[in-house]
Amino acid sequence: MTRGRAASSLDLDPALVARLHARAGAPAWRVPVERFGGVLAHAAGKRFDAAPEPAALNAFLDGLHLEDLALAIACADGDEAAWNAFVARYRGELTRAAASIAGPEQGRDLGDSLFAELFGVDARGTRRRPLFEYFHGRSRLSTWLHALLSQRFIDVVRAERRTSSLDDMELPAAEALVPVATGPPDPDRPRLVAALHQAFDGALAALDANDRLRLACYHADGMTLAEIARLFHEHEATASRKLQRIRQSLRQHIDRHLGETMGLKPEQVRQCYEYALEEGGVPVDALRQEIAPASF
């Protein structure tokens, strides 16, 4: 919730910030207007590559979940009343969600670990940046928390299976996994989703058979790196490096097709990924299908 490089260039109208600050109920949590405005500027800076038109900026800020954002800021700043309100409102829900995701016993540990991270303490009891700092109001707080639980469980499973993260083919932050509230539906959304699927199919077609097989083994079949290494008669570290190289190549093909071939701007390219993820991402079964050569 601090100002990033892009966000620092935005100059928000003080009257607009004051209006949103009041609408969020931020005064009830003793969140200063300047602090709230800084978070809004950072959120807008992550959404827009350059200074947006006032109408677009206002629509984005008005579409944020402002009450949830005010509560998260207060919790990140260590306000005891806000933290107590958060626990009363979400503890039971997250405990049930964690049990549903990981089972009663592991779910309890998962939920406790997440609450510690939200408060700013890691598994060893060391103080760290509270997870609340990464919430920018683009989704509901409850949706963001559920996404965090799911991501933490995936991390645990991967660690147990000794697999690497999906890196560039997955978004790193939980907030990127949930819908973005930006006001009226984007009429360009179907075109952007279709563009990403077209670019993905073309990028797959450009891969050789072995690279396609490696991706299919990992992403479609759920094989571990050790299993893939045995299949290709190589070391596990080699399998990991090759998968990383293939994913990077795939992402470069997709970005190049969207930008150079289709003429999309960087903001539109990012929107392609966001919209596609909201609709379930790209189908991994495509890795097992024959795809016609791409027309790059």
Angle between helices 33-47 and 14-23 (to 10 degrees): 100
User: Domain extents for the chain?
Assistant: 7-72, 78-177, 189-288
Least confident of 37-41, 46-50, 126-130, 132-136: 126-130
Element (H, E) at 231: helix 225-231
pLDDT band at 82 (very low <50, low <70, confident <90, very high): very high
E-only strand ranges, 26-178: none
The reply to whether 189-288 shares the fold of 78-177 is: no
d(CA 69, CA 126): 25
For position 179, what pLDDT does the model report?
40
227 versus 296: the higher-pLDDT residue is 227
Query: Which CATH class, in words, describes the domain spanning 78-177?
Result: mainly alpha
Average pLDDT of the chain is 79
Query: Which CATH class, in words, describes the domain spanning 189-288?
Result: mainly alpha
With 0.85 as the threshold, say if the pTM is over it: no
Residue whose C-alpha is closest to residue 16's, from 54, 52, 47: 54
